[in-house]
Every structure is written in structure tokens, then in C-alpha cells.
Structure 1
């Protein structure tokens, strides 16, 4: 409790002061901050959401890159590195980072602005984290920002977070509990408080920072007064110059900020230059496709499971007799032969047998099966759907549909298992995305651009496969029935995204 009080007082003492917006102005000032730093001030020191996009627009306003819009659609705009950009020096670290990323994407003369986005989530996260650190470093250098908790205060709070845990551990040992129990009660409270402390760490304003934030709030007011400014496309930087960059940093230009994304991009629409020309490739992910990524033994096992469900449902529906149930009244309300309970038990048991054969049975399966039987268990009255269904002779329409569906699924999986015996086909292309799926041993999605279509369906990459990265050119041996990758051969390694030097070396070769 004392730690929480101290933590609350620390938060109260280090909170940001209020920003007093200045008068609407179009002036930047004598020594204006770069748009990336303005994005930190404009976001109340909580983040730099539009810093990368604003920096790109600022580089365009300074002639290091060029943004072109060939048609009416701003999303089709392209980015090009100028000669001044290729020989630029003396840039801030985050400016060089953005320029490197654009150079790598537009290495062959130009690229769509959508190609700036990363294809790998981890790479995008690490790139943006590094950019944020570099922006904050300059803000601190200018005296506009400072760490929220001083090292002495942060260290004291961190040490104090584990004091209750240490006391709990001593009490547990003195109470006769084992060492494991003592460690658990000792570490758990400290870890929770340390996590709470880590969430509060960040930047806070300085007096100078609050003053400059007020000035840029005045510029935001001036830009907001222009009704069409929010919908300006990226190529309008040639007209609006640095105002477009500052407007993006301050969150005024919603269209430009959305189009110039330096994140992981749209996972269903990726720009690719494989084949010679840039084009958007749409990706389909067959999440519900039966047998996707399955081997022959696994397909046979799933076919057997579907067959078991179909046979059990057929047997239950055929052998079921009306005298299996009793009329539900005040005297037989608790009977195990209630119509709803009998029907639910037959259907759920069939499904459970199928799950056992498929190898998907777990402790949660019984819980779900228990919930599945509840509607029939609570059904009461001498009339109703369950009573009428139990009195019906032969399979119900619902049962016939289920038997047909599971029978067709078993047949389909058997056909796939037979097709898996064929010689795998060979395809070559560039890896657009590699995405994980839920489960440690589950095959991943690999989207490949073969260069001859604008629509591709992801393949199943075995979880044990290593060394395949986005941007690499590979030759795959695949089974088209299950869309499974059997083997992969690297044709050309992927270039690290955002690496200017390696991009130049690769073009020279």
C-alpha cells in the first residue's frame, strides 16, 4: 500500500503541464524543430505516431525525394530518390533511417508509396522502435523532453516494488512452506508492481517543450482553418512545401498520414516488383480449407475421424426408437431419458469419438461437450422440438445433412491423401509475407508472388522450416492439393529492409 501511494505521488509530481495554445500562425519560428520532433510535442509526449510519414514529406520538401501522383488516385502515388538524396549527408539519424527505407524500396528508379510498408511485423516493430528512440534523443538534446522518472526515483521505486515480495517470502518460510512457495509469493507481487512501473515510464515535457508545443498548436489551428488541407495527397508537397510535413506531424492531414505507412502494411494487399513492374498483389489465406498443410498420414487420420462421425450419426439416427425416451412431466423431469438429453448425448458422443480419432481431444473438449448438452438438458414440456424429434422415426433432416457433410469431408480427405502420392510440382517466385498461425507446431502461411498474376493464395510452410524471409526469391516443391511446401531452395537471399548500403551493392552487382 505504501508503494502504491509513493507511486501515485510520483505520477502526480511528474505529470505534464498544460499546453497553452498560441495564436493561429503560419510561422515556423527562427529555429524550428523537425516535423518528427513536432509529432512528439503534438502527441503530448506519448508517442511519435506520424513521425516517419512527416519526415518523408519533409525530405520531399527539401528536394531529397520526390513524390508523384500519375492519376486521380492518391494511393497510386510513387516515391523517387533524387540525386540530392543519393548524396545527402548530415541528416539526423531518423531522417537517414527514413531515407534508407525509401532508397531500398525505390532502388530501381521509383516505387509506389504502398511499397514503403514492411512485409514483416517484427522488422516493422523494431524499425519504428529505433525511430522513436532517435526522435526522443533529439527532443532531449533540444531541451524539449526529459525522462519522466529521474534515475534515482525510478531505481527507488523498482527496489521498493520487491520489498513486499521479500516480506511475503520470509513469512512463507517461517510458516513452514516450501522454498518454491516462498519464491512464488515473493516474486509475483514484485513482478506485478514492476510491470505497473514499466507502463508509466516514458517522456514528459520541459518548460521549453510546453512553450514550443503551444506554438505548434497555433500552427495546427492555422492549418485546420483550411478545409481542404486534411484531404491533401502526398504529392501536394510540391505546393504546400513543409506545411504538409508539419500538418502530418500534428495529425491534421488524415489522408497523407494514412497513405504513407511505415508499419507492417496490409497483410492482404502487398506491392511487389517481381517480374519487372510494380503491382499490388492480393493474398488469400485459406484458413478454413480442409486438409490445408496436411501430410498423407494426417489426411488419413482426419478422413477416419470424419468417417467415424458420419457412421456414428447414421447408426444413432437409424437405431433410435421412440421408446428410448419418456414423456417429460412433473414426475419424470429429472429422468436421464428426457428427449433432449437423449438426442444431445447421441450427437455429442459421435462428435467426441471423431475428435478422439483426430487426436484433438483435450480436457477442454469435455467442458465444451457439457455445454453442448445443456440446451437439451434444460428443455422441458411434453411438446417442443426435442420431443417431436425424438418421436420421429428414422434420421432427421439435420442428421441427414450432418451425415452427408461428414461423409463428403471424409471422401475429400481420402482423395487428397491419394493425390499427395504424386510427384510435387515446382514453382519459383518472391516471398511476399510469412505469417504465423496459432499453435507451436502448426504450419505457417507463406504468400508467394510468381510474377504472372495479381492474386495469390498462401501456401502452408511447415513450422520446422527455417531461413525463408520476406523478399527472398525461392524455388518451392509443392503439393497443390493441400498447398503444402515440401522443400524450398533459396534462389536469392532477401535484402534487409531499409538497408541503403546493401541495396546499392545489390544493384551494382
Structure 2
């Protein structure tokens, strides 16, 4: 066996050994079993916070509902106040108290939650739905930092620890790249290029390191398992109250800290759902632009023809739709019955193939003019011709249609549709010549779309209505931070933003991070 072959086989053997060691490590460091204690309503002498309890209650895998539970705990301790004006808990609101404005002796994650409330409710309170973030990235970074702070306290209390000891984790990480080094040497000795050798060497290590990264996390300590059993007993006591699961947030005034712990343990489903610290509902956003809080519904025009197009693009689409209509019309008028033959099964002049080839060719011409012609459209066109290709005989729909002189009803409908579409695009192009309108408002959300050249959705609250339709921000334009107040010059026909001027930067959202850089173009 050649040396290069020995190196390849040696690297493969090392990968197998690494996977075996990794599997044994997972088994050795798996979480212990929590033994639920008896049902109890006692918190204990030095109870953990609801946020830490959420970690224990989720088997050290996550901190689901930790932020909501912390907010309820702050309300139970008098730092904030939750009010429900009517019978609908969705209309509940959160308000700061004097104690909340001057609070100082709080844990980092409690301070983080309180700062978020202050940023939204500093001026007389806010709906609980306004606590949610308007940006996915901001929500993810905020919750990641929150989890990190909760885990830090759990470790400080001796309830949690790293799943892998530092030495074991480092050994597995280094060992993940050893097989790749053998592959690299073998590739170089085999006469392969440096780039190929590096790729062959890095890919196995990257895959193994990915597996290792997915397994990293927390696991319980003996004390943590004991305390988790105690809180499982509290969960049993709370679950015994049938109405507890549907308690609204404002009921914290009656249930005190029990509502916070119930939310952390997943017992109060309604409260955990209403107090969301995630990215919120992308179709309904709370806004205070204009002086009062309002729920603004956002409509995204995904299927609107011409949305976000420039004048040049509209003219191109006009030409493309016109070409399709003209090609279909010419094919329908010039087509003769003797173009098709239904006698010979192997002929290219089958009725179905003649019709489908003419229709598909017309569409391909339009795609070519529209700049959408590629190998995938060619493949889709080929597939679209298959039904007609497999149809033969002396009777049937394709045969009757091919035997008819002049356009058939389906062709007339298609010609009319594409002609109307061409007229529509042309009308939009004419309207684009008008002076853009100027509007001012607050950015509610920014949503990306598939494709690098696709315009992004920008939802703007002008402060006058509870329903807004998103505008198209061209892909080449710089992003605008949510919460910023901007003055836009827009084309209403295509709902395209032509230019943007920053009026006021977005205010800090109480997430402990710097506000995103404000840009406009």
C-alpha cells in the first residue's frame, strides 16, 4: 500500500475514533434525571429567580419564557405595574413605578428586562404587545445575551456547569482537525494543488467541529437536580389549580410571584404567549408615532406586478408582455391544420406538440426580453411540453384544437391577459414620470425578500391609520433602522422609495447594545 493511501486510511480511522470518543463523551455527560418532589407551594429559604427556574425547568436546554417570567416577577416586587382595562387580556398594558425608575439592586438579566420596559413605557405606559422587538436580529441578540446572564447566575449558584470540561472540549476540538492534516499531506504528496489539499483537509475538521458545537451547552449539577425536583413539586401544585394556565398578566396582583414561577415552568400558557420578547408579529406592530399607542396592521404586496420596479424595468416588462401577446397572436393566426399529423406516432408534427411548442416558444421570447431566461426556465419549458408530446391519435382536445383555423378560446384569453399586462406596465411607467410624493413617518419593520436584486419591504407608520402597506426599498439602497423617523420620496404606482432622509434616529431599545447605525440614502 502506498504512503498516500496509508495516510488516507489513517485519517479515516482517526475520524472513526473521534466519533467514538465524541459519542462516549455525550453519554458520560448526559443530564441526570430530575426526581420531582412532593407538590408544594413553598419557594424555599433562598429561592432562585424565575429566570433561573426556567433554565432548570427546561432541562438546562433553554430559557423559554424567562423574560416574561422576569417581567412578572418585577411586577410582583413593585418595579412595574401590569393593568388590564377590560375583559380582553390582549389589551393589557405595562407601566413603570417609582421603584422601577430608581431600581439599582437588580441582576443583569432583570436590569435588561427592566430597561426594555423603560424604553417602551417611559412616557405613561405601553401595551404589552409593544415589548416585542421589530427586528429579528435585535431580538435574537437580546435573547442570547439574556440567556448568557441567566446561565452565569445558575453557575454562580452551583446549579449548572459546562457540559464538557474545558480540557475535554479542547481535546475534542483539536482532535477534530488531526484527520484533516493527514488528508492534506496525502493530497500534496499525490500531486494535487494546494487549494484542493486545503479543502480536503479543512472540510472533515469543520464537520466534526460543527457536531461538537451543537453538543456544547449546560448540564446539571447534583444541587441543580435537587432544586429542579423542588420546582417540579411547585409545578405540580400550580397545575392542580385548573384556572391557573389561563391567568392574564394583570393577575400578578393576586397571585404575586406564583404567576412568575408558573410562567417560568410553563404552566401559565396565556401569560407566556402575551408577554413576548421576540421579534413579534410581522403583520401587526404597536406604534406610538403620533402621540398614542396604536396597533398597526401591515400588508405586504408580494404578488403586485411592478412592485419596486424602476421606469426602465417597467418598460422592459411592457415589451416582454407585448412580445408574448404578439407571438401568441401570430402563432394562432398563422397556424394551419396541416401543421399537425396524427397518423405517425413518431412524428414531430403531433397536434399536442405543435400547440405546446408554439405556446412555450412565445413565453420563452417574453422571458428573453424580460431578462429572466436561464437554464432553469429552459428546463421548465421542456417539462411544460411533455403533456402535448405524449398525446397522439386522431381525436382528443389537442387534435381538435390544432385542426381549428384561427385562435382558440384559450389563446384569445392568453393574448388578452398579456396585452392587458403590457398596458398595465406601460401605464405604471408613465406614472413614474410624475414628481415623487413626500411622506414622513416611523419605520415599523424591514423585511428582506428572496433574491439579491429584490427590493426589501419597508413598513412605515404615517400616524394616520391603523393599516399600512409596505413600500419597496431598492436592494441597492442602504438599510434604515426600525424605529427611525424618516422622510421618504416615493412613487405610489410601484410603491417604490426613491430617496430617504433621516429625520430622527431610532431611540435605544433598552437591550444593552448600541443602537444600530442609522443610514439613509
Q: TM range, normalised to the smaller chain? A: over 0.9
Quick check: 1:457 aligned with 2:480? no
Q: Distance in 1 between matches of 2:37 and 2:391?
A: 69
Aligned equivalent of 1:34, options 49, 63, 70 = 49
Quick check: 1:447 aligned with 2:459? yes
* 2:490 aligned residue: 478
| 2:342 and 2:392 in contact (8 A); partners too | no
- Report the secondary structure of 2:59's partner residue: coil
1:458-490 Cα deviation digits (max 9, x unpaired): 111122322521111111111111111111111
171-180 vs 249-258, which moves further = 171-180
* 2:180 aligned residue: 165
Quick check: 1:402 aligned with 2:417? no
Quick check: 1:390 aligned with 2:405? no
| 2:139 and 2:278 in contact (8 A); partners too | yes
* 1:194 aligned residue: 209
1:427-464 Cα deviation digits (max 9, x unpaired): 11111111111122321111111111000001111223
**1:139 to partner: Cα distance:** 0.7
Quick check: 1:7 aligned with 2:3? no
- Structure 1, gaps ≥5 residues long: 504-509
| 1:495 and 1:502 in contact (8 A); partners too | no
Aligned equivalent of 1:417, options 429, 432, 436 = 429
Q: Distance in 1 between matches of 2:450 and 2:161?
A: 40
**1:500 to partner: Cα distance:** 8.4
* 1:107 aligned residue: 122
- Structure 2, gaps ≥5 residues long: 1-15, 516-521
Task: Indicate how the Cα distance of structure 1 residues 334 and 165 shifts in structure 2: closer, same or farther if over 3 A, else same.
Answer: farther
* 1:291 aligned residue: 306
**1:105 to partner: Cα distance:** 0.4
Aligned equivalent of 1:180, options 191, 195, 213 = 195
Q: Distance in 2 between matches of 1:383 and 1:249?
A: 70
* 1:16 aligned residue: 31
1:154-190 Cα deviation digits (max 9, x unpaired): 1111111112222222222222222222112111111
* 2:134 aligned residue: 119
* 2:6 aligned residue: none
- Report the secondary structure of 1:6's partner residue: helix
139-148 vs 176-185, which moves further = 176-185
1:303-452 equivalences in 2 (<5 Å): 303-327=318-342, 332-452=344-464
Q: Distance in 1 between matches of 2:397 and 2:51?
A: 65
Task: Indicate how the Cα distance of structure 1 residues 85 and 16 shifts in structure 2: closer, same or farther if over 3 A, else same.
Answer: same
Task: Indicate how the Cα distance of structure 1 residues 396 and 196 shifts in structure 2: closer, same or farther if over 3 A, else same.
Answer: farther
- Report the secondary structure of 1:286's partner residue: coil
Paired residues, number? 500
365-374 vs 269-278, which moves further = 365-374
* 1:140 aligned residue: 155
1:300-350 Cα deviation digits (max 9, x unpaired): 00111111111111111222222222216xxx3332222222222112111
Q: Distance in 2 between matches of 1:434 and 1:191?
A: 33
1:167-217 Cα deviation digits (max 9, x unpaired): 222222222222222112111111111111111111111111111111111
* 1:506 aligned residue: none
* 1:46 aligned residue: 61
Q: Distance in 2 between matches of 1:381 and 1:14?
A: 70
**1:356 to partner: Cα distance:** 1.0
Q: Distance in 2 between matches of 1:353 and 1:200?
A: 53
Q: Distance in 1 between matches of 2:208 and 2:409?
A: 58
- Report the secondary structure of 1:491's partner residue: strand
* TM-score between both structures, scaled by the size of structure 2: 0.93
- Report the secondary structure of 2:134's partner residue: coil
Task: Indicate how the Cα distance of structure 1 residues 341 and 8 shifts in structure 2: closer, same or farther if over 3 A, else same.
Answer: same
Q: Distance in 2 between matches of 1:39 and 1:162?
A: 36
Q: Distance in 2 between matches of 1:202 and 1:397?
A: 65
**1:389 to partner: Cα distance:** 2.6
**1:391 to partner: Cα distance:** 2.4
Q: Distance in 2 between matches of 1:11 and 1:367?
A: 47
**1:380 to partner: Cα distance:** 4.4
* TM-score between both structures, scaled by the size of structure 1: 0.95
| 1:146 and 1:206 in contact (8 A); partners too | yes
Aligned equivalent of 1:225, options 233, 240, 244 = 240
- Report the secondary structure of 2:489's partner residue: strand
* 2:275 aligned residue: 260
Q: Distance in 2 between matches of 1:388 and 1:7?
A: 68
Aligned equivalent of 1:214, options 226, 229, 232 = 229
Q: Distance in 2 between matches of 1:133 and 1:312?
A: 63
1:240-268 Cα deviation digits (max 9, x unpaired): 11111111111111111010000010000
1:120-169 Cα deviation digits (max 9, x unpaired): 11111100110010011111111111111111111111111112222222
1:406-436 Cα deviation digits (max 9, x unpaired): 1111101101101111111111111111111
**1:57 to partner: Cα distance:** 0.4
332-341 vs 349-358, which moves further = 332-341
| 1:104 and 1:500 in contact (8 A); partners too | no
* 2:79 aligned residue: 64
1:209-241 Cα deviation digits (max 9, x unpaired): 111111111111111111111111110111111
